[in-house]
């Protein structure tokens, strides 16, 4: 499938030989946005990658699968990571923008920064700098609500008023140690609701960043039902990864999220969405059909989770794809492009690509 064809499918635009292409005016089409792309840095002010994270099997696997050489990281960690990830975004012809995510440090309930649990810290300032220098980058900010309504509100307002403004706020409760259902975070949700900025919140188990001990207790922080409070206050919530598991032996919360989606339809108040990031992993073969069956298409949003590797998925997950079509997918080298094309071939609706443009603040794309 040619890139131009992918773009037409994603945007719902007619083919060139249609009657509309003969001269009728066509309304502008929304951009295709990947809302879930990570970055890392060691030497930028305030950024951190812990030694423990670098020794994690998941981190080592990412480097190998993404063909990032350790020698390049030793020479210039920040530059190697930046150029690799932003190069992938720039080289994805069917994706107009990518939301690059900051990640705040971990904080305890008393507002104390937990340095020992802050294995990946990416500052809002660094992501804003990247966005200013790269036209395809949108800002995904991160402010830990345990900072409290004094220091936390100041940083949150600084983010929301930043240049460029954030497309969304990102939280990873399992690793950042956040109970997103805690009433003490109401100030946080009220601010997001008032400013119309979505919350992209990790749901389901976490397998990439270290999860503090006791691990089982902190993995439960990925339960999407804890987001009911934010939804009731009026926050637009995007449940990252659709609350699904990575490995077949894990429990997940996809069923709970599906029930919340039905409740959102019934109450007409909740603005609840789910991204389908990190779906293109071999170990998630058995999860694809569950997501397609459980999450309404109109509530799905495109995400890749890159640099989490994008696998060449086996033919069994694709619906009615010809041999030529499958071989064409295998020949797509760009991981962000491959993620999108494989999702479409799996049966995810074309609207996943443009849904984010309807959810993030209009000023971000102005």
Domain membership flag for residue 233: yes
CATH number at 62 reads: 3.20.20.140
* 7 close to 94: Cβ distance less than 8 angstroms: yes
Summarize the confidence of residues 171-177 as an average pLDDT.
97
Domain membership flag for residue 205: yes
In the chain, the number of structural domains is 1
**Predicted local confidence at residue 366, as pLDDT:** 87
Asked if omega into 307 is within 30° of 0 (cis), the reply is yes
* 228 close to 182: Cβ distance less than 8 angstroms: no
**Predicted local confidence at residue 17, as pLDDT:** 44
Q: Which of the residue ranges 102-106, 282-286, 313-317 would you say has the lowest mean pLDDT? A: 282-286
Q: For the range 143-146, what are the long-range contacts, defined as Cβ-Cβ under 8 Å and sequence gap of 24 or more?
A: 143/104, 143/169, 143/188, 144/104, 144/105, 144/106, 144/107, 144/171, 144/176, 144/178, 145/171, 145/178, 145/180, 145/182, 145/184, 145/185, 145/188, 146/107, 146/108, 146/109, 146/111, 146/177, 146/178
- pLDDT over 90 at 11, yes or no: no
Domain membership flag for residue 241: yes
Domain membership flag for residue 52: yes
pLDDT band at 251 (very low <50, low <70, confident <90, very high): confident
- pLDDT over 60 at 4, yes or no: no
Average per-residue pLDDT for the chain: 93
Domain membership flag for residue 7: no
pLDDT band at 23 (very low <50, low <70, confident <90, very high): very low
End-to-end CA distance of the chain: 31
**Predicted local confidence at residue 250, as pLDDT:** 84
Domain membership flag for residue 307: yes
Domain membership flag for residue 24: no
pLDDT tens, 175-232? Answer: 999 999 999 999 999 999 999 999 999 999 999 999 999 999 999 999 999 999 999 9
Domain with 290, as residue range(s), is 30-364
**Predicted local confidence at residue 8, as pLDDT:** 45
Domain membership flag for residue 291: yes
């Amino acid at each position: 499938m040619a890139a131009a064809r992918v773009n037409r499918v994603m945007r719902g635009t007619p083919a060139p030989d249609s009657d509309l292409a003969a001269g009728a005016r066509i309304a502008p089409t929304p951009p295709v946005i990947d809302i879930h792309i990570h970055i890392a840095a060691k030497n930028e002010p305030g950024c951190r990658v812990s030694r423990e994270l670098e020794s994690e099997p998941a981190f080592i696997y990412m480097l190998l699968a993404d063909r990032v050489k350790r020698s390049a990281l030793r020479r210039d960690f920040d530059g190697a990571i930046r150029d690799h990830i932003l190069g992938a975004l720039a080289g994805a012809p069917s994706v107009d923008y990518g939301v690059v995510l900051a990640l705040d440090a971990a904080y305890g309930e008393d507002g104390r920064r937990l340095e020992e649990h802050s294995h990946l810290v990416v500052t809002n300032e660094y992501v804003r700098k990247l966005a200013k220098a790269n036209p395809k980058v949108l800002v995904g900010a991160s402010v830990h609500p345990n900072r409290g309504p004094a220091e936390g509100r100041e940083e949150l307002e600084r983010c929301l008023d930043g240049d460029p403004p954030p497309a969304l706020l990102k939280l990873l409760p399992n690793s950042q140690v956040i109970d997103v259902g805690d009433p003490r975070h109401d100030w946080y949700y009220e601010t997001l609701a008032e400013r119309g900025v979505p919350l992209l919140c990790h749901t389901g188990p976490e397998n990439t960043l270290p999860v503090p001990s006791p691990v089982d207790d902190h993995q439960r922080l990925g339960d999407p039902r804890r987001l009911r409070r934010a939804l009731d206050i009026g926050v637009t919530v995007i449940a990252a990864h659709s609350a699904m598991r990575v490995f077949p032996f894990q429990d997940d919360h996809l069923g709970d999220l599906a029930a919340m989606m039905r409740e959102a339809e019934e109450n007409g108040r909740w603005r609840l969405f789910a991204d389908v990031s990190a779906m293109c992993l071999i170990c998630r073969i058995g999860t694809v059909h569950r997501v397609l069956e459980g999450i309404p298409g109109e509530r799905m949003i495109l995400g890749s989770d890159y640099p989490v590797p994008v696998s060449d998925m086996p033919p069994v997950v694709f619906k009615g794809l010809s041999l030529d079509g499958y071989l064409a997918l295998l020949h797509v080298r760009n991981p962000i492009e491959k993620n999108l094309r494989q999702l479409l071939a799996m049966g995810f609706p074309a609207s996943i690509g443009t849904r984010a443009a309807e959810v993030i603040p209009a000023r971000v794309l102005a």
